[in-house]
Amino acid sequence: MAAINRAALLTKLHKVLKKHYEPVLPVPGRTLLENLLFACCLENSPYDAAEQAFEAVSKTYFDWNEVRVSTVKEIAEVMKQLPDPQASAARLRRCLQSVFEANYSFDIEPMKKLNLGQAVQKFESYDGASPFVVSYITQTSLGGHSVPLDDGAVGALQVLGLMGEKDTAKTGCTGMERAIPKNKGLEFGSLLHQLSIDYTANPYSTNLHKILLEVDSDAKSRLPKRGVKPAEKKPEPAPVAPAAVAGKGGKPEAKPDPKHKPEAKGKSAVPAPKKPEKASAPVTPSKKAAPPAAKKPAEKKAPAKAAVAKRKPR
């Protein structure tokens, strides 16, 4: 996209956002430390929820040192109004720890007297100070011109083609500070943050898509689309034992028995199936089988004549 078109698109984005959102300006009178900690609550969170969370932390704890020595879990319970209290509490606690280690106190107002570049580098060195937090401090407390970008803002600007897929809040949006005047920076940053919250809450919202298409009608192909549900996976077949070897027809062959002796050649290894025996004719109940004939007693044979003849008297 040419530089002129980019500047024109950013200017149009500002005009469209003013039609759909009301700018929210920073609370006057807050110290540099308070704006730093409020930015930790505001990142990826709506303005009203961030104000409630910041006020809850301020009133629940005796001072900022008590917050510093508390656990992230304890602080997150106090900041439960936020969409992601755990992440916000971790940022806030790490920033307090970094400020205390650098100054051994929580008074950082003298940093306003530093050169803008030096002050920004100092904040960037703080653990927990994200690009959004540093830009918010630069814009609200240091008199610089830097538009804060969180996750939702990056997503919306990518849809509009103002940022690439690999760009992040750290790389920023090229040409934004030149296209948006410094005296409109607070207003534009507030409007863009509200668009960011809507994008984070529901990137598939019809109203959100209307706003983005009003800025650039060519962004239709880049609008977030609901993903198709993945098909259910079929259960995988049971693994085949490594010992089984596929034979003909894909069936595994049986492992040979080492005790089995091979038969002589010419004889079939498989016995021939027996022929089914013929069933005997059933006996009808009306006809009874005749009883077997009684055996005749065997006739005695006549003794031999020589044995039977009587002996003659002498």
Question: Position 31: which residue type?
Answer: T
Taking Cα atoms as reference points, which of 135, 117, 111, 118 lies closest to residue 33? 111
Write down the CATH number for the domain with range 3-222.
Answer: 1.10.340.30
- pLDDT single digits (tens) 69-99: 999 999 999 999 999 999 999 999 999 999 9
- The whole-angstrom separation of Cα 124 and Cα 209 is 34
Note the pLDDT tens digit of each residue in 280-300: 455 444 444 455 555 555 555
d(CA 171, CA 39): 19
Model-level pTM greater than 0.85?
no
The per-residue pLDDT for 227 is 76
Q: Where are the domains of the chain?
A: 3-222
198's tokens: 């809507």
39: its two tokens: 């930015």
- Of 27-31, 173-177, 294-298, which gets the smallest average pLDDT? 294-298
Output the average pLDDT for the chain. Answer: 82
Residues 39-58: what's their mean pLDDT? Answer: 97
Choose between 308 and 35: higher pLDDT. Answer: 35
Predicted confidence at residue 59, as pLDDT, reads: 95
Cα–Cα nearest to 196, from 173, 217, 177: 173
CA 19 to chain CA centroid, Å, is: 36
Q: Confidence band (pLDDT; 50, 70, 90) for 237?
A: low
Please report which confidence band the pLDDT of residue 260 belongs to, taking 50, 70 and 90 as the band edges.
low
For residues 45 and 200, the answer to whether their CB atoms sit within 8 Å is no
Give the per-residue SS3 of 171-195. Answer: CCCCCHHHHCCHHHHHHHHHHHHHH
Whether 151 shows a pLDDT value over 50: the answer reads yes
For residue 198, the tally of other CB atoms under 10 A from its CB is 18
Structure tokens at 270: 């498989």
Structure tokens at 100: 């205390």
Q: What are the backbone dihedrals phi and psi of residue 246, each rounded to the nearest 5 degrees, phi first?
A: -70, 130
